[in-house]
Structure 1
Amino acid sequence: MKIIKKVFKSIGVFLALPMLYIIISLILTYIPVNKQENKNKMTHTVYLNSNGIHLEIIIAKNDLNKTILKDQVYNSQTRYFSFGWGDKNFYVETPTWADFTFMNGFQALFLNSQALLHVTRYSSVQKNWVAIKINQAQLKQINLYISDTFRLDFQNKKVLLPGLGYTKNDDFYEALGNYTCLNTCNSWINTGLKQSNMKACLWTPYDFGLIAMYKNK
């Protein structure tokens, strides 16, 4: 009888942990940080976009520093770059929720695998992007945040992984960091906004908090 009680107790703890994670993460998602500055100082625009699972930040090519553009693949039609970070297996095998499997999620959360930066090229602004007005100092900081995420080889060059992109307009590069339930593809974006003194969530593993924050302002 004692053994049965211990088993049920263990099962209860196991089931309670995911619920606790969801509750805490939702609470922190709806706690904003960094106040919006005077809009008259906002001379640049960046964008947020989500495919339903991966949140990415989009910046005009003319607003990117030379460090980010170095070693990048693009042509004369490229006007915007989007950047997202995440676990290699999860990014490559789970481009949308329709591709999600228990094994993909488990590996991303609990196995120490390679992280990637997903870079997509656009010729124009897309209608589903959410615009964020920022100042020069914020633009400089978000540039530094992105450039510091690229993993460099022994020649200080970005490491492109050919053939992994979803289309002809995107590529994956090796990145620094490790994906966990506390450091997701979406929390990478959120951390970048926080460190750039832009409006963000206190912490979030989701995409919808940031999208709603700027879409409904």
Structure 2
Amino acid sequence: MLRYALRWIVALPVLLLYLYGAAGMIGGLIPVNTGRATPTEGIRIYVEDNGIHTGIVLPAEGWEDIVRPDHFADPRYAGHRWRSFGWGDRAFYIGTPTWWDVNPLTVLRSATGSDDTVIHVDAIPEPQVGPRVRMVVVTPAEFARLTAFIRASFAPGAPVRGYGAYDAFYPATGRYSAARTCNAWTGEALRHAGLKMGRWTPFPATVMTWLN
């Protein structure tokens, strides 16, 4: 009986991970805004994926009231004409720039829920479309809804420096959890704008697959 119980103790977390992964992929395949027609003219935006986090890349104009040059370690990077926005748990986001930095304890704590969230902003040149970068043309109305959603995700408070000289983290609104990950936030923002997207997008692939 004890051996049987120990097997379940070991197997249950693995089973839950598989179920979570399957649910996330299924949720990502259920489309929203299916009637959207791709505009022939409009505003270019980009969505990028670094393997863990997805970000929404918008023109830098119009963000000067929130994202200022002195927020970056090197203010010269503010001269870049694009800004990448991502949302997530503070401990996980700040401490996990790549897969090599993943700490299982941090992932577990974040997955159980955290109200300590941040917006990550990069000052970058215009991205080049590739395997991890998609370009999307949006209408002015879609762009307005998207920027309004991102602005509403900022919370009052002072920013902190980011991974390098070109980025910063800002206090954010919203609760992070396994149900609402950084990638789920990206999908939520794009759905709010009116773009075709999966209903639940907890993983990078569930976001990027709709932007081919």
TM-score range (shorter-chain normalised) is 0.7 to 0.9
Partner AA of 2:66 in structure 1: D
1:190 aligns with 2:187: yes
**1:25 equivalent in alignment to 2:27:** no
Q: 1:80 aligns with which of 64, 79, 82?
A: 82
CA distance in 1, matches of 2:59, 2:140: 13
Change (3 A) 1:109 1:137: same
What are the within-5 Å matches in structure 2 for residues 154-169 of structure 1? 159-161=158-160, 163=161, 165-169=162-166
Asked if residue 110 in structure 1 is aligned to residue 112 in structure 2, the reply is: yes
8 Å Cα contact 1:94/1:104 also seen in 2: no
Deviations 1:161-214 (A, max 9, x none): 2x3x11111111011112110010000000111111111111021011222221
- Where structure 1 has 5 or more consecutive residues not aligned to the other structure, the ranges are 154-158
Aligned-residue RMSD, C-alpha: 2.2
Q: 2:134 aligned with 1:130, yes or no?
A: yes
Residue 42 of structure 1: how far off its partner (Å): 4.1
Flag structure 2 segments of 5+ consecutive residues without an equivalent: 70-75
Q: Equivalents in 1 of 2:50, 2:32: separation in Å?
A: 24
Mapping of 1:190-209 within 5 angstroms? 190-209=187-206
Give the aligned residue type for 1:49.
Answer: E
Match of 1:144 among 129, 145, 148: 148
TM-score normalised by length of structure 1: 0.84
In the alignment, is residue 171 of structure 1 matched against residue 176 of structure 2? no
Cα deviation, 1:70-129, whole Å, max 9, x if unaligned, reads 131236622110000011111111101111121121121125351010000113333443
Structure 1 residues 198 and 102: CA distance shift in structure 2, 3 A: same
Does the 8 Å contact 1:88/1:116 carry over to 2? yes
Counterpart CA distance in 2 for 1:173 and 1:12 is 39
Does 2:211 align with 1:214? Answer: yes
Distance 1:131 1:106, change over 3 A: same
CA contact (8 A) 1:115 1:177 kept: yes
| TM-score of the two chains, using structure 2 as the length reference | 0.85
Q: Which of 17-26 and 106-115 deviates more?
A: 106-115
Distance (whole Å) between structure 2 residues aligned to residue 40 and residue 7 of structure 1: 57
Structure 2: which amino acid aligns with 1:85?
Answer: W
1-structure distance, mates of 2:209, 2:105: 30
Distance 2:134 2:179 in 1: 25
- What secondary structure does 1:17 align onto? helix
For these two proteins, the number of residue pairs brought into alignment is 203
Q: What percent of counterpart residues are identical? A: 26
Query: Could you tell me how far apart the structure 2 residues matched to 1:83 and 1:185 are?
Result: 11
Aligned counterparts of 2:142 and 2:3: Cα–Cα separation in 1? 57
**SS across alignment from 1:49:** strand
Match of 1:94 in 2: 96
